[in-house]
């Protein structure tokens, strides 16, 4: 799945239950990711978000993503700045 750079929001349950999705790169243009956008994507192993300071995302964004292990943070050019283990990512957003 390639999300075009013209997209600014990923809507509620957009990829819900998409079991063929293994990794996702969210483009720099996206500032809002709605509830359960990637929930139950059981094959999803990694997600790359940009460092553009997402304005809004939900704590249930990755519910049921049983194989998700890392969240990558990338700059505008797509260079990975840091990788966060998914469980650490969850701890930080629950606080």
The mean pLDDT of 85-89, rounded to a whole number, is 72
Q: Quick one: tokens of 59?
A: 């704590």
Could you read off the pLDDT of 26-67 as tens digits, one per residue? 999 998 899 999 999 999 999 998 887 776 677 788 999 999
Mapped onto helix, strand or coil, the DSSP state of residue 90 is helix
CA distance 44 to 66: 8
The whole-number pLDDT of residue 95 equals 47
pTM for the full predicted model? 0.82
| Burial of 49: CB neighbours in 10 Å, binned 0-12, 13-18, 19+ | buried
């Amino acid at each position: 799945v390639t999300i075009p750079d013209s997209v600014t929001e990923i809507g509620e349950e957009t990829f819900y239950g998409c079991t063929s999705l293994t990794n996702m790169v969210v483009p720099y243009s996206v500032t809002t990711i709605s509830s359960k956008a990637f929930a139950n994507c059981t094959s999803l192993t990694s997600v790359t978000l940009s460092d553009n300071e997402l304005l809004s995302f939900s704590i249930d964004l990755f519910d049921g993503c049983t194989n998700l292990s890392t969240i990558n943070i990338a700059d505008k050019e797509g260079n990975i700045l840091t990788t966060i283990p998914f469980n650490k990512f969850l701890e930080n957003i629950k606080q």
